[in-house]
Amino acid sequence: MRPSTIAIDGPAASGKSTIGYHLADCLGYLFLDTGVLYRAVTWVAQDRGIPVEAEDQITRLGEDVEIEVLPSAATDGRQNTVKVDGRDVTWEIRSPRVERDVSPVAAYPGVRHALTKRMREIACKGYVVMVGRDIGTVVIPDADLKLYVVASAGVRAQRRYMELREKGKDVSYEQVLAGIHQRDRIDSSRATAPLRAAADGITVDTTDLSVETMFAEVERLVNQYDAVKCEQGVRNESSRV
């Protein structure tokens, strides 16, 4: 038996999306990087000139704006195609401007409530790999397999820096590292659904792992799923005694 719902959480640039996309591809599942929903709401707010402090207005956007997350058809490195009101914003939601405001937007309880509802509608159909910060703890706490992907801040900043340089962006490593620290702080300390590992999640530390080793490790965890479930069942049985 294979896990039907896989929840992957972790801080920015820990490798969680790379892992999630790979697993979804191997298993033939839907891949959803839920960060794009928070990014899309942030992008619309900026596009409409709504300041990031306007919590009520931004919450309404989270409830009403049409956001489509589609399997990627293009070959430009995207994992999903993201459309807002029919417009393709896949790359625009990755801009430094959106990056700057997305954590405060994602901290608004009303925005989280609205987007969590959308995520659950997708998750309940199964055969999905969902990636984010609170997927295993809040969005689908009954996910079949929960991974918590971590890496040192230095390594995460280096990865993000290389990605940005490859796209021709003029940023320094120090700027990227500062941004990573800032987002970690906001994502982990917010009152609603802060970033943390699920009690029954499996932590995967990718700091010293090559992409190949990382993939081999998570494939092993998926293949071991039956054994892990059995072991947890036995543990639950014994704790009931």
Closest CB to ligand DC among residues 3, 132: 132
14 binds ligand DC (CB under 6 A): no
Interface with ligand DC: number of residues (CB under 6 A):
14
Please give the residues from 187 up to 206 whose contact with ligand DC meets the rule CB under 6 A.
Answer: 187
> For the chain, first and last CA: distance in Å?
28
39 binds ligand DC (CB under 6 A): yes
35 binds ligand DC (CB under 6 A): yes
CB 36, min distance to ligand DC, A: 6
Of 69, 82, 123, 133, the one binding ligand DC by CB under 6 A: 133
Burial classification of residue 88, based on how many CB atoms lie within 10 Å of its CB (0-12 exposed, 13-18 middle, 19 or more buried):
middle
CB under 6 A: which stretch of 32-40, 43-51, 203-211, 225-233 binds ligand DC?
32-40
Binding residues (CB under 6 A) for ligand DC: these are 12, 34-35, 38-39, 102-103, 106, 132-135, 183, 187
